[in-house]
Copies of this chain bind each other. A is one copy, B any other.
């Protein structure tokens, strides 16, 4: 038995929603092909050029599958072929996509015995390998699709899936390296209460805007008073990119994950393309190579497309 899964790139740290709000992109995505085997264990191959480890204990998809297999009583194994469409280190959930796609595919080969929340739990083992911390802010949208709020990790994982409004996303991935450790190091340990209040007012506003399809409110509420100001210096061109994107009609946006990718949300496809061009123009002038991605919010997360 074999299945093929498409597993989407995702935005995390969405605007004001550091560590809690994310969303699924319709592209790029990883393609993961899993075959169920009678003999136990995992065999992982990469059909891409990123030179990622294929030892299951050192591969994010492998670690996620090992966590899943530990919850399966019968003897079973998987052969896994991964074709990454999402560049590692881009800040749009590359490792999450591999982990999410692997567990979604395995679940399909096991008669869908696990629910989405359980699949996120398994995949978090993979995220812990990639980032050193168990977190779900990319995995939640990678598995649930749409927009997601990770309300709590403890004492119990609590994910709120928000029915997505028909927004279009423009993403620019400038080919610079932002080390996650650097992005973490610039974060303040504490924040003034008054600023935290303004931030959670925006989180509430953003969730309300998403659920009521109030695009103007979404734009106003995306603003991040705490994390983006601390990280702005790590991404050359950020302020200019935002200014040109807003001038081109974007509702708002910011850094995805810990960067270097930037995203902008838009009311329609034509605006999203104009905004992508505006984002690209900044990095072209800076002499920094970049990739652009334009597409609607993905209503679905990782899904079986064949098999």
Q: Which A residues have a C-beta under 8 Å from some C-beta of B? A: 16-21, 149-152, 158, 160, 162, 187-193, 196-209, 211-212, 217, 220-221, 226
Contacts and interface: CB of A to CB of B under 8 A. Distances in A.
Contacts of A198: 152
21 contacts: A17-B204, A18-B197, A19-B197, A20-B200, A21-B204, A149-B201, A149-B208, A151-B204, A151-B217, A158-B205, A160-B204, A160-B208, A160-B217, A190-B191, A191-B191, A191-B193, A196-B226, A200-B200, A200-B203, A207-B207, A207-B208
A207 to B, nearest CB: 4
Contacts of A204: 17, 20-21, 149, 151, 160, 203-204, 206-207
Q: Which residue, of A192, A203, A209, has the highest number of chain B Cβ atoms within 10 A? A: A203
B149 A205 contact: yes
A200 B224 CA distance: 12
Given A162-B208, A208-B211, A151 B18 contact: no
| This chain: copies in complex | 2
Given A18-B200, A149-B208, 10 more contacts: A20-B201, A151-B220, A152-B198, A152-B220, A160-B205, A190-B192, A193-B226, A199-B200, A201-B203, A203-B203
Given A208-B160, A212-B211, A221 B190 contact: no
Nearest to A223: B152
A205 B21 CA distance: 11
